[in-house]
Structure 1
Amino acid sequence: MALNRLATFTRNMSTGRAATLGEQMTLRQLPGAWVQVEDDVISSGSNEVQDMVTIRVGWSDEQLDEVGDVHHVEVVTEEGSCCEAHSPVARLHWEGFQITAADELYHTQWANATGVVPLTLPSPTRVIEFNKTIMQNPGKELSSEEESWIVRVEVSKIALQSMQHR
């Protein structure tokens, strides 16, 4: 499969070793999320051929704990469209609780909180698809598990390398 060719440049940031087929990894340029290299394809534009990689992007357990319950995923960049670097691909709407006050006796006061967190990538991408299961019921289905990816995108191999080494 094409993924075997990617192992030479895909490095796991925590161990420095080559990533294995379909392994989840975190990237320094994408905090709070994980990516999984899925496939590589050859994409041709005008007169040049550029190596591209298909990756799945999901949220880590730490990010999910940080924001609370995601109740809606808003699509910002439609499937098949390209997205600039650092532009949102989607927005995740969440609700949860936050500590508003505490005293020396450990009495903690909580308040409801809501917010929106954009899902951005540090390089230009082409959105392939959003995970339909997550889109229909993010509160129940969203986790750090492999099948709980949010979006599949295509990025250049060079961009993926630079995300890892910065």
Structure 2
Amino acid sequence: SLKKGMSRSRLFCPASHLWVQLQRHSQSGGLAAPRAAWRVQMGLTPRGVDDVGEVTRVDARVQPGKRIDRGAVLLAIEWEGYSISDADELYHTKWESITGTKTLISPFDAEVSGLWQHETISSDSCLIEMIIDRPALQSASGLVDEQAYHEHVRVGPDGIFAPKEPEWS
């Protein structure tokens, strides 16, 4: 959770390997006084990028200006790549072409304020921006701080495209 006085904070979603950057933002309400809100930018962590090969298409499932519910699919990232499928008795590596889709799910009820298209996706790429209010932040599920996320990655499986250590026998 956010500490008092913190204007910027980064949280992580271990299930989908997303980073979530929170920045204070005042939400106007017409004649009503502005209420506390956060501008939220999201992207894939380095571990999340390890699950995506070469991006072939980013399909936005939401539109800027629209309200979405927690659990809504935000983006579908279609990718392709190569994986070592086997090695023969002479240790010749055999490669297999693989494709997949990584979907990004919203951890918040929010209003979508921006979408970014990228030729390639890195762990620095902001993919979507949303505005959330205090109740949405308080009801968010599946988010942890940096230390808890790094521990999750340390004990969890490697990504599909993570560099592999050679196996020696």
User: TM-score normalised by the shorter chain: which range applies?
Assistant: 0.5 to 0.7
**TM-score normalized by structure 1?**
0.68
**TM-score normalized by structure 2?**
0.67
Q: Deviations over 1:24-62 (max 9, x none)?
A: 43135x5311011133223549x9986321110011111
Aligned to 2:99: 114
Q: Does 1:81 align with 2:69?
A: no
TM-align CA RMSD? 3.2
Q: Does 1:40 align with 2:25?
A: yes
Equivalent residues, number? 141
**1:74, CA displacement in angstroms?**
1.1
CA distance in structure 2 between the partners assigned to 1:128 and 1:157 by the alignment: 17
Mark the structure with the bigger radius of gyration.
Answer: 2
Aligned to 2:2: 10
Which amino acid letter does the alignment assign opposite residue 124 of structure 1?
D
Which amino acid letter does the alignment assign opposite residue 85 of structure 1?
R
Distance 1:111 1:128, change over 3 A: same
Which amino acid letter does the alignment assign opposite residue 67 of structure 1?
V
Contact 2:27–2:34 (CA under 8 A) maintained in structure 1 = yes
Q: Deviations over 1:88-135 (max 9, x none)?
A: 11111111122333578765432111111111112222110112xxx1
**1:23, CA displacement in angstroms?**
4.6
Amino-acid identity (%):
25
Which amino acid letter does the alignment assign opposite residue 143 of structure 1?
S
Q: Which runs of 5+ in 2 are unaligned?
A: 145-169
Which amino acid letter does the alignment assign opposite residue 138 of structure 1?
E
Distance 1:56 1:100, change over 3 A: same
Aligned to 1:144: 123
**1:64, CA displacement in angstroms?**
0.9
**1:152, CA displacement in angstroms?**
0.4
